[in-house]
Amino acid sequence: MKILVTGGAGFIGSHINKLLLDQDHLVTVIDDLSKGDQCLVDPRADFHQIALENQTELEKILPGHDAIIHMASFIEVGESVKKPVEFAQNNIVGTVKLLEAMKNTKVKRIIFSSSACVYGVPKKLPITENDPLGEQENPYGITKITMEEFCKLYHNLFNFDVTILRYFNPYGPGELHEPETHAIPNLIKAALEKKPLPVYWKGEQIRDFIFIDDLARAHILALTLSGFHIYNIGTQTGNKIIDVIKKIFGIIGYEVPIDDKGERKGDVPVLVASSEKIKKELGWSAKVNLDEGLRKTIEFFKTHRF
């Protein structure tokens, strides 16, 4: 198949590109490099540095593609509070222009990168795809819900084949966000530099950490789906941040102090996925456990300058 990946110069997109190429798919990457890094783009892919808002250029590139994997969005929650207009413009308007370009070029299959944040504070655990979407405390979460709704609208109006993948907490080698807001890379980098680890809520929050290779596999399985589908992507196992820290200390062989940052507005206490639906329908399940994933991630950051 010929697949176009938006935001393909980012952490998750670059892993998806490699997996697609290794399975002999043809891959086109578009990224404006405002957040991504071209060094992460596999040289076997056809790369175009353009923004989603450039609908004219999108319509030149899209013809002949079998599916779109839509990864391009701003993701920093704190930044979204400071810059809501920029987030709405990039995430929502960019997505609508992509969908319009797809409609105009008759490319009607999209896999959309969403987030567990759309559930807000869960009413029960584990979270299933049928659970209601929750009230949002930041513009980032609102953009993800809105992007989902536009994808669903284009399915209803124009018969697009739409798969929405709601990620829980991805981590793994190659995570080089700037600024980095995710827990595992920040904890590992601080530990390797022998600096105090920044920890909120005394590390008592519980998260479902999904290794990047497992996450990437889910996108490939969704490529041939027709109709409208929503899947959670998680391990179905929750881990306290403080327990993740203990695992990191065990792997690197020493401990460093913890910098207690106190409470942080907008944090959900517990997020754990039910992934039974995607297991039943697509045969997907997480294969890499947290200990193995942390070891691989620590090895990456040991050899990568940051």
> Within a 13 Å sphere around the CA of 132, how many CA atoms are in the beta-carbon half?
5
- Count of residues in the chain: 306
CA distance 187 to 185: 5
Strand partners, 109: 161
Q: Is 119 part of the annotated catalytic residue set?
A: no
> Within a 13 Å sphere around the CA of 44, how many CA atoms are in the beta-carbon half?
15
The encoded tokens of residue 276 equal: 């039974």
Using the 8-state DSSP alphabet, how is residue 116 labeled? G
In b/e form, how buried is each residue of 244-269, taking b as 16+ CB within 10 angstroms? bbebbeeebeeebebeeeeeeeeebe
* H helix count then E strand count, the chain: 11, 13
Catalytic residue selected from 119, 140, 154, 167:
140
CA distance 299 to 219: 25
Contacts of 280 (CB under 8 A, 6+ apart): none
Contacts of 121 (CB under 8 A, 6+ apart): 134, 135, 268, 269
Active site residues: 140
